[in-house]
Amino acid sequence: MNGQSWIVTADNRKANLYLYHKAALDVARLEFLRSIEHAETVGEHERSSLLGGGGPSRRGGAGPVSGSGTPHSGSSGLDGHAAEEEHHRFAKRICEWIAVASMAEKPERVSVFVPVRMMAYLRADFERGGKHADAGKRVDVLDGDLMPLRVSELAAHPKVVALGATDAHKAAV
């Protein structure tokens, strides 16, 4: 374990990974590390950014999440069941992404904030018997639709601030 904590915000279209630093009682400091997007939401401009590692998306944890940080409004043309299957597949991809990164970099804790409708998908994969149960020992899947927030808003969000209070409590015990 390297003493790092990560925060992941995700919805059915995108997931962002941040390095979490406890800064003060009422705020955290977050450093953007990387993101993944659901294949159907990645346009040509964003696709070249993802493949090349550069492009217009911001890096370094300052400013807005990105121009596409809020949920996309386009319709994929999928019926309800097919759309649900797509969301489930993307949730599995998020689990794989987190598991691979956390097994390689060994953070102490990974707090994943997702909307309620995604929680079951992610929890099932990280819990005992799931494909990524080993990585899941460090992963907490939490209720929170925090994906649309800018980095500064996310760092000051009560659910993120509460993570620091939990760390302070553990250190005192």
pTM of the model: 0.72
- Using one digit for the tens of pLDDT, what is the confidence trace for 15-58? 999 999 877 666 788 999 999 998 765 543 344 344 433 333 33
- Using one digit for the tens of pLDDT, what is the confidence trace for 79-123? 788 878 888 889 889 999 998 898 888 899 999 999 998 898 888
Give the domains, in start order, of the chain with CATH numbers: 5-67+78-172 (3.30.420.60)
pLDDT of residue 98: 92
CA–CA gap between residue 73 and residue 17 (Å, rounded): 23
Strand blocks (E) in the chain: 5-10, 14-24, 27-37, 109-114, 139-143
